[in-house]
A and B are shown apart, each in its own frame.
Chain A
Amino acid sequence: MSLLLVRVLVDRLVGALVVLCVMVAAIPVLVLFLFVIIKGMPGILTPGFFTQSPHPQGVPGGGVLNAIIGTLEIVGIGSLLAVPVGALIGIFLSEYGRNQLGDTVRFISDVLTGLPSIAFGIFGYTVVVLTTHHFSALAASIALAILMLPVILRATETALLLVPNALREAGLALGAPRWRVTLEIVVPAALGGIVTGALLAMARAAGETAPLLFTTAGNDILQTNPLQPMGALALTVFRNALVPYPNLQDQAWAAALLLVILVAATNILARVYVRRIQR
C-alpha cells in the first residue's frame, strides 16, 4: 500500500517537473510574442502601413509597402533558386549518395549550416554586387538561396530516407528503372517532408537581416525590379529601430510583427499541407 503511495507521488512529481520545464521553455517565447504584438499593433493599425512606402522624416504617414514587396520578392526568387537545387541534391544524397561524393556534399552542407549569416551577405556582395557594380535584390536572393540550400537538402534527404525501402523494392520488382521509382514513388511518398523543409527554409530566410545589408542595401522607394536595390521587412526593423523618431520606431515594431505573422503563417501552412497529404 505504501509502495503504491510512493509510486503515485513519484508520478505526480515527475509530471509536475515536466510541466515546469515546458513552462520555462514556453514562457519566454510567449512573452516575446506578446511584446511584439503589443508594441507592433499601433504601427500595423496606422493607415497606410500596408499601402504606402516610407515618407521622408517629418512628413506624416508612410508605410512599409516597399519592404513587404521586397521581402516577398527577394525570398520568392531565392526560393525559386534554392528549392529545386536543394531538393535535387537531397534526392541525390538519399538515393545515390552512399559514397565519397555524398559524404563530401553532406559535410559541405553541414559547414554551410553553421556559417554566420553575414557571411552569405559578404558572399553576395563580392560575387554579385562587386561584379555588377550595383546593389540589387537579386544579389540578396542569391545570398539567401545559398543560406536556404543546406536546410532544404537535409530536410529532403531526411524525408526520403524515411520512405520504407519496401516501396523502392516494390517498384523495382515491377521492372521500373531506378530513376522512375525515385521520381514516381519515393519522392511523392516524401513530399510532405520535402515541402515542410522548403517552407521552413523560406521562413528562416524571410527573417534574415545580415545577408541583405550588403546586397539589396534597402530602398525607401517602392521597387519591383529585382536588378535594383529593394527594401525588406528585416531591413526596416534594423534601420528604424536605430532612429530617434517614435513613429519610425513604431514602424519597426510593426514590421517585426508582420515578419512574425508571415513566418507563423508559413509554418501553419506547411503543417496543414502535410497533414492533408498524409491522410
Chain B
Amino acid sequence: MAWETMQTEVAPPPVHDPDIEIKLDARQVNFFYGDFQALHDASLSVQARKITALIGPSGCGKTTFLRVFNRMYDLVPGARASGEVLLDGHNVLSPDTDVINLRRQVGMLFQRANPFPKSIFDNVAYGPHMLGWSKQRIDEVVEESLKDTGLWNEVKDRLRRSALNLSGGQQQRLCLARALAVKPEVVLMDEPASALDPIATLRIEELMQELKERYTIVIVTHNMQQAARASDFTAFMLMNQKRSGEVIEFGPTDDLFNRPRDSRTEDYITGRFG
C-alpha cells in the first residue's frame, strides 16, 4: 500500500544552510511499550533557538515522542526505543548516555504544574542545590530564573512561603523557572497550558517567545491555534493502522498550516477530523 512510500517522503527536510543549527535530531525512532509500538519511524530535526511544536490527535504519540528526548520513558517498565536521537551529535538513546546529565541539558515542563511541596525559593533552588552550587550562586540563579519567567515581582516578598499557595498559572511559571535554573539547552513542554486559563496561557506563550532567544523549545500541544501562533516549526503526527504514532508532515509552521503537503495534515488543520 501507499502508506509506506508516503512515510519515507516525510523524512526531515535536508538541511544545507550552514546558519541552521540542529540541536536535536531524531532519526527513525521506534518506540515500544512492551509489545505495543507507540512510535513508528518518527523523525524530527529540531532547530536551535526555535520553537518546534508537535500537534496531532490524542494518542498519536506526541507526548511519547517528547519523552524520548530526555529519556523520561526510562521510568516505565518495559519501555524501549530504537533509532537515534542526536543531541549536539551525541545519541541520547545509547546505553552509555549519562541520563542525569542529559536531563540537566534537556529540561521539561509538564502538563499540570507540579511544584514540590516546598517554598517558592526551594523549588527553584532544588536543581542548583543538587548540583552543589554555592549559596551565593544559587541565590543569583533563583532570582534570575524567577525574573526570566516574570514571577520575580509577584513573589519576591514571599520566597519562603509554600509554592502551593500560588495560582495555577504562577505554579506553571514557577515550574518553568525551576527547569531553567539548571541552565538547560533544550526545554521540552508537554501541553504546558492545557490546564490554564486563557490569560495564563497567553503569559506562557509570551514567555516562550522571550525564552527562544536562549533556549531550544519543543512543545506538545492539543491546541492548533497555539501551535500556529507560537511555534516556528510544526510536526503533525498521526496514528497508523497499527495504532503507532508517525510523523506525517514536518516543516515551517507557516507552510504546514497554509500549504500542507499531505492531505491528512490538511484534513486535520481544517478540522475535518481529530
Contact = CB atoms under 8 A, between A and B. Distances in A.
A189 B72 contact: no
B118 interface: yes
Given A173-B179, A175-B182, A180-B130, A166 B116 contact: no
Interface string A160-182: 00001011111111111100100
A169 B190 CA distance: 12
Interface string B21-38: 000000000000000000
B20 interface: no
Contacts of A173: 70, 72, 103, 107-108, 110, 179
Contact of B110 (A169, A176, A185, A189): A169
A166 B182 contact: no
Nearest to B114: A166
Contacts of B117: 167, 188-189
B77 A98 contact: yes
B75 interface: yes
B103 A167 contact: no
A166 B175 CA distance: 12
A169 B72 contact: yes
Given A173-B70, A175-B104, A164 B127 contact: no
Given A173-B179, A174-B104, A175-B182, A189 B70 contact: no
Nearest to B112: A166
Interface string A102-139: 00000000000000000000000000000000000000
Nearest to B104: A175
B126 interface: yes
A189 B116 contact: yes
Contacts of A185: 116, 126
A171 B103 CA distance: 10
A79 B143 CA distance: 43
A230 B52 CA distance: 72
B129 to A, nearest CB: 9
Contacts, number: 64
A174 B114 contact: no
B178 interface: yes
B175 A170 contact: yes
Nearest to B77: A98
30 contacts: A98-B77, A166-B110, A167-B117, A169-B72, A169-B75, A169-B108, A169-B114, A170-B110, A170-B175, A171-B116, A172-B103, A173-B70, A173-B103, A173-B108, A174-B103, A174-B104, A174-B107, A174-B126, A175-B101, A175-B102, A175-B103, A175-B127, A175-B131, A176-B126, A176-B127, A180-B130, A184-B126, A185-B126, A188-B117, A188-B118
Nearest to A189: B117
Interface residues of A, number: 19
Contacts of B199: none
A33 B101 CA distance: 60
B100 interface: yes
Contacts of B70: 173
Contacts of A189: 116-117
A51 to B, nearest CB: 45
B120 to A, nearest CB: 15
List the 7 closest A-B pairs by CB distance, nearest first.
A175-B104, A166-B114, A173-B108, A175-B103, A174-B127, A170-B114, A175-B100
Contact of A174 (B75, B77, B118, B130): B130
Interface of B: 70, 72, 75, 77, 100-104, 107-108, 110, 112, 114-118, 126-127, 130-131, 175, 178-179, 182
B132 to A, nearest CB: 12
Nearest to B118: A188
Contacts of A184: 126, 130
B270 to A, nearest CB: 35
Contacts of B103: 172-175
Select the residue from B108, B126, B178, B182 with max chain A CB neighbours within 10 A.
B126
A75 to B, nearest CB: 31
Given A169-B110, A174-B127, 11 more contacts: A166-B112, A167-B117, A169-B108, A169-B114, A170-B115, A170-B175, A173-B179, A174-B104, A175-B130, A176-B127, A177-B100
Contacts of B75: 168-169, 172
Given A98-B77, A188-B117, A188-B118, A174 B182 contact: yes
Nearest to A177: B100
A177 B129 CA distance: 13
Contacts of B127: 174-176
A274 to B, nearest CB: 13
Contacts of A166: 110, 112, 114
